Amino acid sequence: MEETLAIVKPDAVAAGFVGKILSRIEEEGFRVRGLKMVHLREGEARLFYGVHRGKPFYESLVAFMTSGPVVAIALEREDGVAHWRRVMGVTDPASAAEGTLRSLYGTTVQRNAVHGSDSVENGVGEINFFFNTLEKT
C-alpha cells in the first residue's frame, strides 16, 4: 500500500467540485486516511511548493493556492502515487486525457483542480505537512 496526498485546489473548491472529486476517489478504490479543508497562508504555500521556487510560475502559483480554501486528502491504495496521477491527468488540462480530473474540472495549466504527490517519499512528506497523527487514521 502507498500513501499519497491529494489536494482539491481553490478553483475546484470554489466551483463546487469537492463532492464529485471525492466520489471519484472512492470509485478508484482509494481509502481516505485523512481529510480536511484549510486556507493556506502565504508562507505555507511557499514552503509546500518550495521545489518550484525560482520558476516563472512560482509567485502566481503561491497567489493562486492562497486565494481560497483547499481540501487536503490523505489517500492510500496499492500503487497509490502513480494511480492518483493517472486519475488526475497531466498538468495542463488542455492536454489531459478525457475523463481525468484535470480534463473534467481544470481550466488552465495553473488552475488545474487537483494536486498529487510525485513520489512515495514526497507523498509521506506532504501528508505530514498537512496532517498530524491525531488527524489521520
| Residues of the shown chain interacting with ligand IDP in the complex, contacts defined by CB under 6 A | 52, 57, 61, 91, 109-110, 112, 115, 118
Question: Quick check: 43 and 49 in contact, CB under 8 A?
Answer: no
28 binds, among ligand IDP, Mg ion, none (CB under 5 to 8 A by kind): none
Closest separation in Å from C-beta 14 to ligand IDP: 15
Closest separation in Å from C-beta 101 to ligand IDP: 11
For the question of residue 83 being annotated catalytic, the response is no
Q: How many CB atoms lie within 10 A of CB 110?
A: 17
* Residue number, 18 or 61, with CB nearest to ligand IDP: 61
The partner residues of 6 in beta bridges, in order of sequence, read 73, 116
Question: Of 4, 20, 2, whose CA–CA distance to 115 is shortest?
Answer: 4
Catalytic residues: 115
